[in-house]
């Protein structure tokens, strides 16, 4: 009986945690199940940190920002290469 009670509490806890995650996602606080972060968001954050340690990486960040701005302005993806 003790194990059934502990299992039920664990399942209920996981369900409530899932509901909390979905609510936080609707608030826009996190990416959880339905929304996906932008491609490369984590990579860009790491690159920013790397640019602090290695200033020569700054040109890569500036080029990515320029490409993103062009994409927004034109609506088309620029050619790479």
- Listed range (5-14, 16-25, 70-79) with the worst mean pLDDT: 70-79
Is 5 a residue whose pLDDT tops 80?
Answer: yes
Residue closest to 44 by CA, chosen among 59, 64, 28, 69: 64
Burial (CB count <10 Å: 0-12, 13-18, 19+), residue 50: middle
Q: pTM of the entire structure? A: 0.44
pLDDT of residue 32 exceeding 70, the answer is yes
Reading the block at residue 15, the tokens are 């369900």
Confidence of residue 30 (pLDDT cuts 50, 70, 90): confident
Task: Please give the Cα distance from 54 to 36 (Å, whole number).
Answer: 30
- Helices assigned H by DSSP within 1-81: 2-27, 41-53, 58-74
Identify the DSSP state of 39.
T
As a whole number of angstroms, the distance between CA 81 and CA 79 comes to 7
Q: What is the pLDDT of residue 29?
A: 85
Does the pLDDT at position 34 exceed 70? yes
């Amino acid at each position: 009986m003790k194990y059934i009670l502990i299992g039920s509490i664990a399942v209920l806890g996981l369900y409530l945690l899932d509901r909390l995650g979905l609510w936080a996602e609707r608030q826009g606080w996190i990416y959880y199940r339905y929304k996906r972060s932008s491609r490369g968001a984590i990579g860009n954050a790491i690159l920013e940190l790397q640019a602090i340690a290695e200033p020569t990486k700054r040109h890569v960040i500036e080029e990515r920002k320029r490409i993103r701005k062009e994409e927004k302005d034109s609506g088309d993806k620029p050619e790479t290469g």
